[in-house]
Chains A and B, each alone.
Chain A
């Protein structure tokens, strides 16, 4: 099975040279002692753990899968030991609050570690990611006694978390959910109902599993305004923090699925389980949504991480595999000599490195939003995050999946064979396009909500960044062609955006029909922007440019000339409006 090498150098390059992270952290009081040097050390050590402990059990975990016997879930061989190493290393606590035992490091470092977890072993990484999501929700909304009772154990990783939202009849539309919660009179509630697709609903890694369950109170109004959030643990917790009786939180079955076989995705039954209200009654969705940006960024990064993993195997293979000859050549050559194979690898790489750049950009904004002393800066950050979250979630997982398919294709027949690991990445990447809000939902969020948020202020701020970079590129002959291509695509994007905000297509049907294409359009221009920034950084170095800088320039050239022109076609597709989508009667399908 191929190795995983954590792309720490590229991460440090982005922090140091593109986003000048030392300067950003210096302005954020809780992170004043954080710098790129510390980030590098943390990333290197996390990377070693991912390469040496998590990657070796990725393929075996996929083959073995999870088991449910007599109500007990068992994860594949080696997961328990790996989780022990992960917890002993203190990794679950990385970005969490120091008040409850967290290490209090920035989201920016966390999200880069998340990329490595996803790339080395997504099934494993999800356990930690879900616990973090639950911790952050409890931190933001639970009363103090619940926080001190549950958070320390969850932050150290002794207990895990799960988010129980979906029901058979309530998926994207959670307003339809039926699970009920009745007051017991002692401040707690009785929860009854069944949930499906519950990631990490149970496993044998942790002593306890803390479920955050969406349910309806007896007097709740119908729809999404009648949903409350409850905490319901697998084992009840005594006053002194020790584990008490088993709660009636039971695994009905394990879902049989396409990928992430090493992760237990459960049907959960809450059979009169005891639970506690988190946040206000009927405000459960709002409580959940405060964590949504972070969760969606994490899911987007899963697409990036798997794309990187697939690229590592594909590029190594292409440099060794000998097949065919270069045009006019006599000797058999390695397949990396073939233009078409190069195009596949370059397509992968130009997505991966631009996506990583957007990840760092957005995560730094999240750190600013949380901790910057200036309210104006925090507000701008909030807008940018709101705008970019659906783009990252959907575009990273769409392109990430496509990247894993290319990585599989480079290996030819071997890409279809299990032992090479490439087909697993394809299967594992597929779910990220679906969960945490399908990519269709993300596109709706972008076009129907985010484009007009604050009268279009966030999108205006973001477009101003692109204009600023284009202005910096003016008069630079070395990047003139790259900038020109970006300028063309960017002008088209601005025109289309206007039409969707307030012009010809500013109606729900056209917006709905255009959303998916628009999100891709937006993402491609954003990647083009980041490639221009990286290219300009190379040029600014002049003679001092090293091999990585030159590589960045070549990738910027490739991306803007061979990928970015796809925006012209997307603009034209959107221009056709929703009429062709609605022409056929529903009965005719």
Chain B
């Protein structure tokens, strides 16, 4: 079974994001970019399936600006077999990504698609669901455990107050939660091999898909600075103030 893992490059989780001066977005110049942590978990899960003999080939896909190709190499270093990169300088929205993935899936025919549940930059949490909708495939989101047996997958999800277990018929879409696994560190030999491995680069037009954004970003701003607190003299005063503020 072939496993397809769509991955995204995002601002590194340890970097403190800064908003561009003109308010059009987050400043990404000279900022460390990495593979989205949930996507890394997805790659790891695919590798584990391959190690268990459940998957035969791992294909990673990414869409983004030219320099985002680096994360295909990161996935190679972890153990992905083949990489496909769709290059565009345009801002891509989840629906556009899902459509491109749909086209790739039509050509690749994977038995399972594992995605991160969301990317930590825009936190959209939509691509996996939209992709399942477009394909008409079953989906299991926020997986904390995944088991594959023949043409069936069993997914455990963490829900409020307990665990939910879903059974899916493959092909299916699974999106990863944080506790699904702990991604490995790439080995030095694999890092070196990854540098030499080819990446298949395409353009959105190759799939005949219009990725023009449907949403317009009006403004991006830093959260307002916290206002200083005040000291009250007595409990009575506190109650009075809280009532005045309409919270009591």
Contact = CB atoms under 8 A, between A and B. Distances in A.
Given A38-B195, A41-B73, A88 B187 contact: yes
Contacts of A94: 188
A89 interface: yes
Contacts of B212: none
A272 interface: no
Contacts of B192: 38, 42, 103, 105
Interface in A46-97: 48-49, 53, 85, 88-91, 93-94
A546 interface: yes
Interface string B168-210: 0000000000000000011111111001100000000000000
Contacts of B30: 546
A255 interface: no
Contacts of B190: 90
B100 to A, nearest CB: 27
B227 to A, nearest CB: 17
A45 interface: yes
Interface residues of B, number: 13
Interface string A5-47: 0000000000000000000000000000100011001100100
Interface residues of A, number: 19
Contacts of A48: 185
Nearest to A38: B195
B187 A41 contact: no
Interface in A425-477: none
Contacts of A103: 188-189, 192
Contacts of A37: 195
A91 to B, nearest CB: 6
Contacts of B189: 90, 93, 103
A42 B185 CA distance: 12
Nearest to B34: A44
A42 B73 contact: no
A89 B184 CA distance: 10
B188 A89 contact: yes
Interface of A: 33, 37-38, 41-42, 45, 48-49, 53, 85, 88-91, 93-94, 103, 105, 546
B187 A90 contact: yes
Given A45-B188, A89-B186, A90-B188, 8 more contacts: A33-B196, A37-B195, A38-B195, A45-B77, A45-B191, A88-B187, A91-B188, A93-B188
Q: Which 5 A-B pairs have the closest CB atoms?
A: A90-B188, A90-B187, A89-B187, A90-B189, A38-B195
A42 B188 contact: yes
A88 B190 CA distance: 11
Q: Which of A38, A48, A105, A546 has the most CB of B within 10 A?
A: A38
26 contacts: A38-B192, A41-B73, A41-B77, A41-B191, A42-B188, A42-B192, A45-B185, A45-B186, A53-B185, A85-B185, A88-B187, A89-B185, A89-B186, A89-B187, A90-B187, A90-B188, A90-B190, A91-B188, A93-B188, A93-B189, A94-B188, A103-B188, A103-B189, A103-B192, A105-B192, A546-B30
B228 to A, nearest CB: 13
Contacts of B77: 41, 45
A38 B77 CA distance: 12
A125 B242 CA distance: 58
A38 B192 CA distance: 8
A451 to B, nearest CB: 40
Nearest to B14: A5
B185 A49 contact: yes
Contacts of A38: 192, 195
A151 to B, nearest CB: 17
A502 B196 CA distance: 54
A84 B189 CA distance: 16
B187 A42 contact: no
A148 to B, nearest CB: 20
Contacts of A33: 196
Contacts of A42: 188, 191-192
A42 B187 CA distance: 10
A45 B192 CA distance: 12
B135 to A, nearest CB: 34
A38 B186 CA distance: 14
A82 to B, nearest CB: 11
B26 to A, nearest CB: 17
A284 to B, nearest CB: 33
Nearest to B74: A41
Contacts of A49: 185
Contacts of A546: 30
A541 to B, nearest CB: 13
A38 B196 CA distance: 10
Nearest to A49: B185
